[in-house]
Structure 1
Amino acid sequence: MRSLFSTFLYLLFSVSAIAQTGHIMQGAGSVNMSMGGAATAQPLDISGALQWNPAAISTFDGTIISFDIGLFSSSPTLFSTVPEFDSMGMPTGNFFSGVTEDDRGLSPMPALAVVWGKEGSKHTFGASAFGISGFGVTFPESMTNPINAPQSMGGFGRIESDYILLQIGFTWAYELSDNFSIGLEPTFNYATLELMPNPTANPGASGYPSTDKATATGFGGQIGLFYDSKTGFKAGLSYKSTQSFSKFKFDNTYLDASTGTNEFNMDYPAIYSIGLGYSKSDFDIALDYRLVDYENTDGFSTTGWTPTASVSGFGWQNISIVSAGVQYKGINKLPLRVGYTYSSNPINDDVAFFNIPATAIIKNAFQLGLTYEFNDRLNLNAVYHHGDSGGKTSGQILNPGFIPNFPPYGAIPGSNVSYEMTTDLFMIGFNYTFKRKEVKNNDL
């Protein structure tokens, strides 16, 4: 029987977190989000350190708990155009175009982290539960937009997706010297995926089916190095491995009430991070660069149609992410933060059509945050985020029946599908220090 704690954890984190950089959340918790997600070499809080560099938790003294909850809204817009044909199949020169707004609403976004260490020891330990990834859209069926027109009219009908990834990590950091630390973190993952219609299934006479919500479990790990010069300059490196998942198993229902099943494998990509930090007087500065390896990740590395006209994968390219943040501590009990995140787009024009269910691609994200220090133990944190896609992701509408004349994916001449979006988030949280460690001596 599931324990009370695991039931609570499942309910708490079974929510939609709409990703910012590819399908990856740009940060964890209010403080890290407000720094643009930069924390590989500037661990201002335990959530950011646990997410991006396990070695960096060695900088924290005592037993600390952090909890954050936010409300996230996204506003994707779906555009499409198709040429019109006469009864002989010849183009008339006219086009049918439409626009659909997403009506998904607000999504909660939680983050929970704990760090502790033994007095006089060079060891520091941590545990975390983060919603690190997700995407989701809800485009209602439309009579005026060809891409989500009813399937009987050649569209997809209602387009809805919901992907959530909860990651639980257990972290150990060890101080190799006064300046260097190493950290290790095994990670355990739980994911859910729902698609309507389900393009990973074989289409039937009535089109693609809808599905139930499928689940998968996965595992991986992270290793990091952290250097603190003790003069203000800091540096960090980390590698988060591919999170290998079991297959999602879908129970499909077609419009004619027939049923079927299919499986789809979607792993979480490896992430390479390098960071620099500098602290002096009233300022903390952080800069991170990340490479996300989608091109070697199941579910993202392949694309196109299978021989049975299902979709083989998303076909994403590797992306680069730059995160930067500044914290100003010159106001008593009120540190202020500003952050920026840039992400390249993993979706090229050729595969835009395959990625309609995963439109959450944000190019530029801006954050403002603050902390109110009640005392030396309790802090209240808050952040506001706004992101935009920096223009449309656009490509032609694809049909496997057109492949012989328009390889490799069967692009319909004169057609177009595109999407863009903005995102907004308000998050609050707290961190509390139960007990401070004494200065570390030689390992016991």
Structure 2
Amino acid sequence: MFVKDQTRFAGPVVLCLMAGALPQTASATEGYFALGYGPAQRGVGGAGVAYSQDAMSGAINPASVATVGREMSLGLQAFSPSRGFTGDSTGFVPSGTIDSGKSFFPVPNAAYNLPLSNGAVVNFAAYGNGGMNTSYDAVPNANCGGGTGVFCGGESGVDLTQLFVSVTYAQKLGRLSYGIAPTLAVQAFEAKGLAAFSGISVDPTALTDNGYDYSTGLGLRVGLQYELSDQLTLGLSAQTKFNMSEFDKYAGLFEGGGDFDIPPSVTIGLAYQPTSDLALLLDYQKIFYSDAPAVANPMSSGALGADGGAGFGWEDVEVIRLGAEWKASPDMTWRVGYAHAANPVGADDVTFGILAPGVVEDHFTVGGSRQINARDRIDFSLSYVPENTVSGPEMTPLGPTGGTVDLNMSQISASIGWTRTF
């Protein structure tokens, strides 16, 4: 299992440098999980659990990199969400339409694939797994008695980002490829302007306006790919729950005294290659937000910060992804994709959902790759997520007001990347 030359470890150094920038990123697509983790994967709508594209493929299925040679991939996504809400006859949040600011986020990714002398590979990867962000100005609020802000606390919103750093061991044995990826997760979080919820918090001093806090945890990602025939491959990937350390500065906001665990997920799919130039992809994924009480518990569950207490009320999300990749020439590859994700936010939790309106459902993507020379190629993708709206009754810490709240979100993004083979 010794590598063929020690210079091959130059790639992980690049990953360490890239990882330093990731905690400033945020994204939200399937709930708050990312649609894909590199330009090639985003180009096919995040599909590919049964397909290998590049060194970043291991972020979808650790087994995918078993057939990738020595390669390094670097990428950057420009992610632009539009989100906000409309209040109608509200008695707590402002009436009218309020949009969140901060509509641009850079999301880098990096991966390095290293073949071993026994035929296996080790893969190093760093990428943003997801996040959520809202940033509301201190807008006038007639329900605050002269105060300002969505929740009467001036500027308000939340900022959650997640960084995954994984080391994958993968190998192909006959028709079967497998991969296992111990993964470190790092989260950063900040909340502002939530003082109006102090009366239902077990610790109002650890509820809001405490700056950024950080948590860490370990999880495991595993995957298989099996070639059912020369043209059809089955893929399966699963991620365990990440038991994260507590956000101590926000022990009065998140259930269990600051717990904000990363939920498990499972993905299964097929890749069909009718010709050597064409691949058709189908994936099904389920994200078990119900295993993360801070996200899943409804607002009616009890006090903020308490064991079993209130959360965002998110339900599990099921995602269907379709993708196609066509190699038009030796130098040019084109991609197209579509993904449909269930909306996790229920009508009864739209008021607290103002902080995290991850309600989008449909994702349309296009992309491609241009081979520059024998070693280098440029990958790119564009995605468009049309606006989706969820409506429900306005709920305050004291109960319903008779008003309604409509959450809305749409997204656009563009990605570019560079891949070098060695």
TM bucket normalised to smaller:
0.7 to 0.9
Is 2:263 the partner of 1:269?
yes
CA distance in 2, matches of 1:55, 1:139: 42
How far off is 1:218 after superposition? 1.0
How far off is 1:416 after superposition? 1.0
CA distance in 2, matches of 1:200, 1:9: 38
User: After the TM superposition, which residues 54-203 of structure 1 pair with which residues of structure 2 at under 5 Å, given as runs?
Assistant: 54-61=62-69, 63-82=70-89, 97-119=95-117, 121-143=118-140, 150=147, 155-175=152-172, 177-198=173-194, 202-203=198-199
CA distance in 2, matches of 1:201, 1:146: 15
Percent identity of paired positions between Structure 1 and Structure 2: 22
SS in 2 for 1:126: strand
The answer on whether the counterparts of 1:385 and 1:424 sit within 8 Å (CA) in structure 2 is yes
1:219 aligned residue = 218
Is 2:57 the partner of 1:45?
no
AA matched with 2:269: G
The answer on whether the counterparts of 2:278 and 2:327 sit within 8 Å (CA) in structure 1 is yes
Judged with a 3 Å threshold, the aligned counterparts in structure 2 of structure 1 residues 83 and 374 are, in CA distance, closer, same or farther, namely: closer
How far off is 1:110 after superposition? 0.4
1:258 aligned residue = none
User: Which string of whole-angstrom CA distances, capped at 9 and with x for unpartnered residues, describes residues 371-401 of structure 1?
Assistant: 1101232111111111124x31221121232
CA distance in 1, matches of 2:66, 2:396: 54
2:8 aligned residue = none
CA distance in 2, matches of 1:251, 1:350: 24
How far off is 1:159 after superposition? 2.2
1:228 aligned residue = 227
Q: Which runs of 5+ in 2 are unaligned?
A: 1-12
The answer on whether the counterparts of 1:203 and 1:209 sit within 8 Å (CA) in structure 2 is no
2:293 aligned residue = 298
How far off is 1:118 after superposition? 2.0
2:372 aligned residue = 374
Instruction: Report the TM-score when normalising by structure 2.
Output: 0.87
CA distance in 2, matches of 1:216, 1:137: 20
CA distance in 2, matches of 1:79, 1:318: 25
Identify the range of structure 1 (100-109 vs 267-276) with the bigger mean alpha-carbon deviation. Answer: 100-109
CA distance in 1, matches of 2:135, 2:108: 22
Judged with a 3 Å threshold, the aligned counterparts in structure 2 of structure 1 residues 309 and 237 are, in CA distance, closer, same or farther, namely: closer
SS in 2 for 1:236: strand
Is 2:326 the partner of 1:322?
no
Greater C-alpha Rg: 1
Judged with a 3 Å threshold, the aligned counterparts in structure 2 of structure 1 residues 430 and 291 are, in CA distance, closer, same or farther, namely: same
SS in 1 for 2:157: strand
AA matched with 1:25: A
The answer on whether the counterparts of 2:152 and 2:195 sit within 8 Å (CA) in structure 1 is no
SS in 2 for 1:32: helix
AA matched with 1:55: A
How far off is 1:151 after superposition? 5.4
2:406 aligned residue = 418
The answer on whether the counterparts of 1:171 and 1:185 sit within 8 Å (CA) in structure 2 is yes
AA matched with 2:49: T
How far off is 1:351 after superposition? 1.2
Judged with a 3 Å threshold, the aligned counterparts in structure 2 of structure 1 residues 172 and 228 are, in CA distance, closer, same or farther, namely: same
SS in 1 for 2:168: strand
Is 2:11 the partner of 1:15?
no
Q: Which runs of 5+ in 1 are unaligned?
A: 86-94, 254-261, 402-409, 435-444
Judged with a 3 Å threshold, the aligned counterparts in structure 2 of structure 1 residues 128 and 429 are, in CA distance, closer, same or farther, namely: same
Judged with a 3 Å threshold, the aligned counterparts in structure 2 of structure 1 residues 326 and 194 are, in CA distance, closer, same or farther, namely: same
The answer on whether the counterparts of 1:380 and 1:431 sit within 8 Å (CA) in structure 2 is yes
Is 2:338 the partner of 1:340?
yes
User: Which string of whole-angstrom CA distances, capped at 9 and with x for unpartnered residues, describes residues 231-265 of structure 1?
Assistant: 12111111111111011121799xxxxxxxx9411
The answer on whether the counterparts of 2:136 and 2:149 sit within 8 Å (CA) in structure 1 is no
How far off is 1:327 after superposition? 1.0
CA distance in 2, matches of 1:204, 1:150: 20
Higher helix share: 2
How far off is 1:27 after superposition? 0.4
2:416 aligned residue = 428
Is 2:18 the partner of 1:29?
no
How far off is 1:191 after superposition? 0.4
CA distance in 2, matches of 1:149, 1:8: 47
How far off is 1:84 after superposition? 6.9
Instruction: Report the TM-score when normalising by structure 1.
Output: 0.83
Q: Number of paired residues?
A: 400
CA distance in 1, matches of 2:214, 2:223: 30
The answer on whether the counterparts of 2:177 and 2:225 sit within 8 Å (CA) in structure 1 is yes
The answer on whether the counterparts of 2:160 and 2:190 sit within 8 Å (CA) in structure 1 is yes
User: Which string of whole-angstrom CA distances, capped at 9 and with x for unpartnered residues, describes residues 20-65 of structure 1?
Assistant: 0011001011000111011110112221x2112111211112x110
How far off is 1:127 after superposition? 1.0
